[in-house]
Amino acid sequence: MKGLIIKDIMCLKKQLMIFTFVIIGVLVVSVMYVLSARFGNIAAVGREMLAVKENHMTEIDVKNLGSIALMLFMLLPIVTVCDMVNVFAADGKAGFFKTAASFPVSLKKRLLARYMTIYALFGIGVAVDVIIAFVLSLITDMIKFTDFLGIILSAASLMSIYSACSILFCILLGYGKEMYAQLLSVLALVLGVALANFGSIKRIVASMMEDDGEADISGLWKFLDFIMHKSYVLLIAAVIVSVLSFAVSYMAAERKRGVI
């Protein structure tokens, strides 16, 4: 099983190279961003937004907008290592699935190795993000270090759900359908998030349809607060989805044979 994990990681060699450059870029850009938000142009833009009364924005709104932008930067290291469909595509091109059954490794272990690969890479991505978050927490009061940890854990949980769905759909659809597996995984993730926040989305849409056309973004701030302080909910959801994905994937792989 160790050899299978190494093989899967080698299939992601190109992504790992991108991951290295992303880490450097995120660290540099994030430091520049928080310094600008404290002393530079971004801070000036925030003051201008508060000065315009028609915006109806408070200091909390401006701070939250800055936090969201910083949060998106922090997601990049995790996102760059989450796409397991490349492993399925590489296996398909090499015809690996044709010989895998002859290995002295059971189907369950072959499938488990694939899940272990992606979560090991997520672990690396999370560790890197934690280090970057610690550095940023030393030079900014925009987000506390504990809030950084909540954001990182939430992002890793969401990407874990996406990856678990990707593995499942790749097995269900078979070789050559990796693009459709990606699309279905994204749709499943978006649908899940939308259903979980249906009330907030409904309020935002309703406020935009009113005469003044001004969106009520308080629901967005509640979602941000949820990401920061209730990441354990997403972690539990990720564990449940991963277990279900593994169980269904195993049953599908047993029936189809020659897909992993």
Say whether 209 sits in a helix, a strand or coil. coil
Measure the N-to-C terminal CA separation of the chain; round to a whole number of Å.
Answer: 13
Task: Express each pLDDT in 225-256 by its tens digit.
Answer: 778 888 888 889 989 999 999 999 888 888 87
Stated pTM of the model? 0.78
* Average pLDDT estimate for 194-205: 67
Q: How far apart are CA 195 and CA 189, in angstroms?
A: 10
Are 84 and 167 within 8 A, CB to CB?
yes
Task: Express each pLDDT in 55-86 by its tens digit.
Answer: 556 666 666 677 777 777 777 777 777 667 77
Q: How far apart are CA 162 and CA 255, in angstroms?
A: 24
